[in-house]
Amino acid sequence: MAKTVGRTAISNFDLKRPEVKAGYLACSIMAVVLAVFMIYPLIWTFMGALKTPKEVYLIPPRLLPERANWANFITAWKAFSFPRFTLNTFLLFAGIVLFKFPITCMAAYAFSFLRVPARRALFLAFMVTLMVPGMAYMIPSYLILYRLPIFGLNLLNTYWAFWLPAGADAFAILLLKGYFDGIPGEMLEAARIDGATEMIILSRLVLPLAKPILATLFILNFMGVWRDFMWPYIVLRDSSRWTIMIALYTYVFQSQILTPNIQLAGMMLATIPPITIFLLFQRYILEGITFAGIKG
Amino acid sequence: MIEGSAIPAAGGRRHRWAKAMKNGRLGLLFLLPALCIFAMFQWYTIFYGLILGFQKMITGLGATWVGLANFKSVLSDSLVALSFRNTLVFVGLCLVFGYMVPVVVAIALTELRHARGFFRLAIYMPNIIPGIALYIMWLWIFDPAVGLLNQILGLFHLPPQEWLLNTKTALFSLMLMATWAGFGSTALFYMASLTSVPEELYEAAEIDGAGIWRRIFHITLPSLKTTMLIMLLLQILATVQVFQEPFVMTGGGPNNATLTIMYQVYRYAFVYFEFGKAGALGFLTFLFLFVLSLLYMRYSKIAHGGEEV
């Protein structure tokens, strides 16, 4: 996954000195304490999800439940209507992929391999949107979706409010272009001589070569859609269109009808997909993180 | 591959431009969908956001220009003043308690000889958990009666706190949660830039007899300087915009103790339907963040060796 670090401030020779050894030990202990600090709350939460409501409110509190109530997860699965809202979330994601990938791939291809007038200025006009803080979009986007200019449509409360703008993703264009630039131009020239059109070169030659970056984008976007809350909450008011996060928020924070163990079980269920995907595709995701800091 | 590179200057400007357009027709065609979508959902949206503050806007009825009226009423709103104060306190708390944590953690973890991957995963873990799930978890960690935090305080015989329910500790509690959840990814950035510290520097320092601390202060930290500066700006950018945490965890309460600027923008728009005022307050915040972003651009350019985008 990562480059192996060569030597660092402490050398192997240093480690033979007792005072450095003590320092290294302190360092290790700190790391362990840190890990406990990060992981213990997760274990505590998981145990909470396995308790009965009575055990959650037990004083003095106990970490382990008398016996693991796995049925809590089934209750949460039903109480939060997981099947319906998960399906909604997948539907939302599928449309976003369908709109985002063709548009950004074509744009990145144009910037990497085709002649474009005022290329630098245009590219800058795309990239400058990365500098705009996310909060600047909330109000104007809402009003634009309320009455789409030129067309006069109201897209609020529909998935089109997410699908249509999906292609306006400068981060994806940047990532793709960065990858495309590494593909040798001679390969494309050879294909052109053989009479391939640019569209065929893009779909048959460039995209297969760019699979790793496409996978990274795909995964990052899925994680993004799965965890996104604020904007979907503002746009999708109708409960039939809610995503899983809107449902979690509404059932836990707005109507306190569920007992804490069920709330925590629901929280755990909603965390399983991103954790699974992360553990499976760590390499792809960490590649993308390096860029993720760009957008504030 | 750059337009106009092989075209003689004799043709003049217009000729050159016409030729570039002709040669670039296919390229423009490939860009067309992106251009249309960006025009509507990025450039126009941003522009609209900038002019919105100067309008009185009622959905369904359209907009009228009102000049600076929105700005005046926003700036004289005592809730706005309070939201500025709360946001500044939050930004400050995050800097004081959270800014150095990732640096120290990154340096310490990089020194480890064993299980570095495990620790890296452990600190990054909260970033994988979706925000709302994280808030549900912390809702119970903060719980005054049965929460984990008060259990820990109890271990040290400290009095239990009310955390989110007390005006004095609510912002601090949100900071605690945000730091716990966010420091891991920043630490990974630092760890990545630590791998590029030339080994020879450490070798030379060791041969010259410099101790561990001197190596850290004179080699490790200076080589992190640019990253630290960028992270400082990014952290301020992110924390000034804090909204989702108070919205979900406290609803701005108790008694508006966690009402932040962005929360106030949200309230103007979606509670009072005063889109013009929301736009005006958003504009002011945007201006501030934009200046910070420009600084970020400058420094990240320096960080990448003056390389152009």
Tell me how many domains chain B contains: 2
Residue from B2, B13, B21, B30 to probe the interface with A (highest A Cβ count within 10 Å): B30
Identify the burial level of B216 via C-beta atoms within 10 angstroms of its C-beta, where 0-12 means exposed, 13-18 middle and 19 or more buried: middle
Cβ pair B237:A296 closer than 8 A: yes
Place A291 in a pLDDT band, splitting at 50, 70 and 90: low
Based on the fold, state whether residues B187 and B41 are members of the same structural domain: no
Match 């039903």 to its residue by tokens. Answer: A78
In a domain, B190, yes or no: yes
Yes or no: is domain A76-292 CATH 1.10.3720.10? Answer: yes
Residue A290 confidence (pLDDT): 55
Query: Is the ipTM here above 0.90?
Result: no
User: Which candidate from A20, A56, A234 shows the least CB-CB separation from B270?
Assistant: A234
Based on the fold, state whether residues B214 and B289 are members of the same structural domain: yes
User: Which candidate from A5, A61, A167 shows the least CB-CB separation from B33?
Assistant: A167
Average pLDDT over residues B98-115: 89
Determine the length of chain B. 309
Which chain A residues touch B282 with a CB distance below 8 Å? 135-136, 138-139
Q: What is the pLDDT of residues B70-101, one digit of tens each?
A: 899 989 999 999 999 999 999 999 999 989 99
Number of CB pairs < 8 Å for A and B? 306
Identify the burial level of B200 via C-beta atoms within 10 angstroms of its C-beta, where 0-12 means exposed, 13-18 middle and 19 or more buried: exposed
Q: What is the pLDDT of residues A129-181, one digit of tens each?
A: 988 888 889 999 999 999 888 888 899 999 999 999 999 999 999 999 988 99
Residue A111 confidence (pLDDT): 94
Residue closest to A106 by CA, chosen among B294, B207, B199, B38: B38
Pick the residue with more confidence: A41 or B11?
Answer: A41
Which chain B residues touch A39 with a CB distance below 8 Å? 122, 125
Residues A89 and A225 sit within 8 Å (Cβ to Cβ)? yes
Based on the fold, state whether residues B105 and B218 are members of the same structural domain: yes
Cβ pair B237:A133 closer than 8 A: yes
Share the mean pLDDT of chain A: 87
Based on the fold, state whether residues B39 and B101 are members of the same structural domain: no
Cβ pair B265:A274 closer than 8 A: no
Cβ pair A41:B137 closer than 8 A: yes
Residue A287 confidence (pLDDT): 62
Based on the fold, state whether residues B254 and B144 are members of the same structural domain: yes
The nearest CA of chain B is from the CA of A81 a distance in Å of 16
Taking the Cβ of residue B203 and every Cβ of chain A, the question of whether any pair is shorter than 8 Å is answered with: yes
Does the pLDDT of residue B151 top 70, yes or no? yes
Residue A22 confidence (pLDDT): 80
In a domain, B57, yes or no: no
Based on the fold, state whether residues B97 and B227 are members of the same structural domain: yes
Average pLDDT over residues A259-272: 92
Taking the Cβ of residue B293 and every Cβ of chain A, the question of whether any pair is shorter than 8 Å is answered with: yes
Residues A144 and A222 sit within 8 Å (Cβ to Cβ)? no
Cβ pair A245:B131 closer than 8 A: yes
What does the radius of gyration of chain A's CA atoms come to, in whole angstroms? Answer: 25
CATH number at residue B192: 1.10.3720.10
Identify the burial level of B307 via C-beta atoms within 10 angstroms of its C-beta, where 0-12 means exposed, 13-18 middle and 19 or more buried: exposed
Based on the fold, state whether residues B27 and B161 are members of the same structural domain: no
Average pLDDT over residues B167-181: 93
Taking the Cβ of residue B145 and every Cβ of chain A, the question of whether any pair is shorter than 8 Å is answered with: yes
In a domain, B35, yes or no: yes
Residue from A39, A139, A223, A290 to probe the interface with B (highest B Cβ count within 10 Å): A139
Q: What is the pLDDT of residues B281-296, one digit of tens each?
A: 999 998 888 887 787 7
Cβ pair A140:B123 closer than 8 A: no
The nearest CA of chain B is from the CA of A131 a distance in Å of 6
Based on the fold, state whether residues B143 and B40 are members of the same structural domain: no
Q: How far is residue B276's CA from residue B66's CA, in Å, rounded to a whole number?
A: 9
Cβ pair A134:B241 closer than 8 A: yes
User: Which candidate from A27, A59, A264 shows the least CB-CB separation from B140?
Assistant: A264
Based on the fold, state whether residues B33 and B131 are members of the same structural domain: no
Residue B54 confidence (pLDDT): 92
Which chain A residues touch B215 with a CB distance below 8 Å? 9
Q: How far is residue B278's CA from residue B70's CA, in Å, rounded to a whole number?
A: 9
Residue closest to A55 by CA, chosen among A258, A261, A252: A261
Place B308 in a pLDDT band, splitting at 50, 70 and 90: very low
3-state DSSP of chain A: CCCCCCCCCCCCCHHHCHHHHHHHHHHHHHHHHHHHHHHHHHHHHHHHHHCCHHHHCCCCCCCCCCCCCCHHHHHHHHHCCHHHHHHHHHHHHHHHHHHHHHHHHHHHHHHHHCCCCCHHHHHHHHHHHHHCCHHHHHHHHHHHHHCCCCCCCCCCCCCHHHHHHHHCCHHHHHHHHHHHCCCCHHHHHHHHHCCCCHHHHHHHHHHHHCHHHHHHHHHHHHHHHHHCCHHHHHHCCCHHHCCHHHHHHHHHHHCCCCCHHHHHHHHHHHHHHHHHHHHHHHHHHHHHHHHHCCCC
Match 């009003």 to its residue by tokens. Answer: A143
Cβ pair A39:B122 closer than 8 A: yes
- Cα-based angle A214, A218, A222 (whole degrees, multiple of 5): 170
In a domain, B3, yes or no: no
The nearest CA of chain B is from the CA of A252 a distance in Å of 7
Q: Structural domain of residue B250, as residue ranges?
A: 71-303
Residues A166 and A95 sit within 8 Å (Cβ to Cβ)? yes
The kind and range of the H/E element at B294 are helix B275-303
In a domain, B309, yes or no: no
Residues B265 and A122 sit within 8 Å (Cβ to Cβ)? no
Residue closest to B144 by CA, chosen among B161, B169, B159: B161
Predicted model pTM: 0.86
Based on the fold, state whether residues B179 and B211 are members of the same structural domain: yes
Dihedral (CA of B274, B280, B283, B287) sign: negative
Q: How far is residue B186's CA from residue B11's CA, in Å, rounded to a whole number?
A: 53
Based on the fold, state whether residues B77 and B42 are members of the same structural domain: no
Q: How far is residue B9's CA from residue A234's CA, in Å, rounded to a whole number?
A: 54
Sorted by where each begins, the domain ranges of chain A are: 14-69, 76-292
Structure tokens at B14: 């217009």
Q: How far is residue B218's CA from residue A294's CA, in Å, rounded to a whole number?
A: 28
Average pLDDT over residues B63-70: 85
Residue A9 confidence (pLDDT): 76
Match 């460039």 to its residue by tokens. Answer: A206
Q: Which residues contact A108 (CB under 8 A, 6 or more apart)?
A: A172, A173, A176, A177, A180
